[in-house]
Amino acid sequence: MLNNLLKKIKDRKAKVGIIGLGYVGLPLAVEVGEAGFTVVGFDVAKDKVNLINAGKSDIDDVPDSAVANLVQSGKLSATTDPKQLRQMDTVSICVPTPLSKTKDPDVSYILAAVKWIQQYIHKEMLIILESTTYPGTTEDMILPMLEESGLKVGRDFYLAFSPERVDPGNQKFTTKNTPRVVGGTTPRCTKVAQAFYEQFIGSVHAVSSTQAAETVKLLENTFRSVNIGLVNEVALMCDRLNLDVWEIIDAAASKPFGFMPFYPGPGLGGHCIPIDPHYLSWKLKSLNYYARFIELAGEINSQMPEYVVHRIRNVLNDRAKSVKGAKIVILGVAYKRDIKDVRESPALDVIKLLEGQGAKLYYNDPYVDTIRWNDSIHRSSKLTPALLKKADLAVILTDHTSYNYQWLVDNAKVVFDTRNATKNVRNNRRKLVLL
């Protein structure tokens, strides 16, 4: 049976199911479809399913044309009907894995996806979990559910974990050219999962187990979280020392070995870096181990929006203004530059804190038309000289490349820059305050 499935995969005749058509699932579906497979996307959101079947995309990195070409050629379709899983040879789970309010893992979306598969699992099926989760999820939680069918893993069906490595907005590294890590519950599972990814990804790195693959992803994002936490703390220290943190980092980055530059900011955003390290920390607590670096970095990073508001208050005070009643323009609310994703964006925390202190807020983001705060929908304001001139302060929270920063500084009364986006501004630098 293994050879039959391997042949289907290598001949690109395997039918591929992908559960979850968001920032991970839809790019994966497009790559798999463009490699020649027939792909069916599964999602509980009817609007998303209808959008894809109409040949359109709601993901920044996936153009409408890519979806339309695949839909028109019959290589991609979407559905809310799990019964079609019965026809799939491979199924990839690409659903969200958020944290609860107590920072415990929420694997309910994974469980819901597995329950779908559980009803329609059959011999010669490959199931791959891509959603980030704590070590042991695939083997301890998913495997027993699937084996309730009476089928045996490694003999009748194949189960593996391969962490998604999506970086929204990254034009250089995409799903296709970013190496993949894969680990199966048995060596045969690893073999078939590796063969699947090798059909549309240039480099696939196999590891010894699903637990190893799960931990790889958590290490990657913990590495970033801890280093960002370190440099955010350096920013706090430089403020006390009356030093320019950006100058310090640039100078340290001139060393050609032993140093990798990270940069401070208003906090962490996105679905991965603020969340994934806590999956590892949570797992270790169950083994009576306290992950001190992870917890400390999370504490520092989560306090950055409050520090930004503290600095805004000082900037206004220096100009005989109070936060209460001050007109403040927020520039950028996406969690990082040149995308529309606001998941976990620190800008939303800054906005909430400022409004709570009585500020009159406006925001502009060329990628985000509307946002919700305090149970109301707010629309992006048109960025004009008049808006900047009437504001007491403009605050750069997201350094979109489409902004003309010289123009912004020229027209604003004062600009507080949390991203060093204005580093190339030459005139009117006296109006600038850096994080």
Distance of CA 12 to the CA centre of its chain: 29
Q: Please name which of 18, 353, 372, 32 lies closest in space to residue 176, comparing C-alpha atoms.
A: 32
Pairwise CA distance, residues 428 & 409, whole Å: 7
For 164, half-sphere exposure in the C-beta direction (CA atoms, 13 angstrom radius) is 27
- Which residues does residue 125 pair with via DSSP β-bridges, in sequence order? 157
Residues near 269 by beta carbon (within 8 Å), at least 6 away in sequence: 334, 335, 336, 341, 342, 343, 344, 345, 346, 347
What CA–CA distances, in Å, run from 335 to 125, 197, 344, 347, 367? Answer: 38, 30, 7, 7, 11
Phi, psi of 192 (to 5 degrees): -75, -35
Residue 236, classed as helix, strand or coil, is: helix
- Structure tokens belonging to residue 108: 């309910």
- Which residues does residue 77 pair with via DSSP β-bridges, in sequence order? 40
Q: Please name which of 90, 97, 94 lies closest in space to residue 189, comparing C-alpha atoms.
A: 90
Residue 293, burial from CB neighbour count under 10 angstroms (0-12, 13-18, 19+): middle
Alpha helices in 364-411 (DSSP H): 385-390, 405-411
Q: Please name which of 296, 290, 228, 213 lies closest in space to residue 262, comparing C-alpha atoms.
A: 228
CA angle 259, 260, 263 (to 5 degrees): 125
Phi, psi of 312 (to 5 degrees): -60, -40
Does 189 qualify as catalytic in the annotation? Answer: no
What long-range pairs does 401-406 form, CB within 8 A, spacing at least 24?
A: 401/337, 401/338, 402/338, 402/366, 403/331, 403/332, 403/366
Inter-residue contact 387 to 329 (CB < 8 Å): yes
Residue 376, classed as helix, strand or coil, is: strand
Instruction: Give the catalytic positions in this structure.
Output: 272
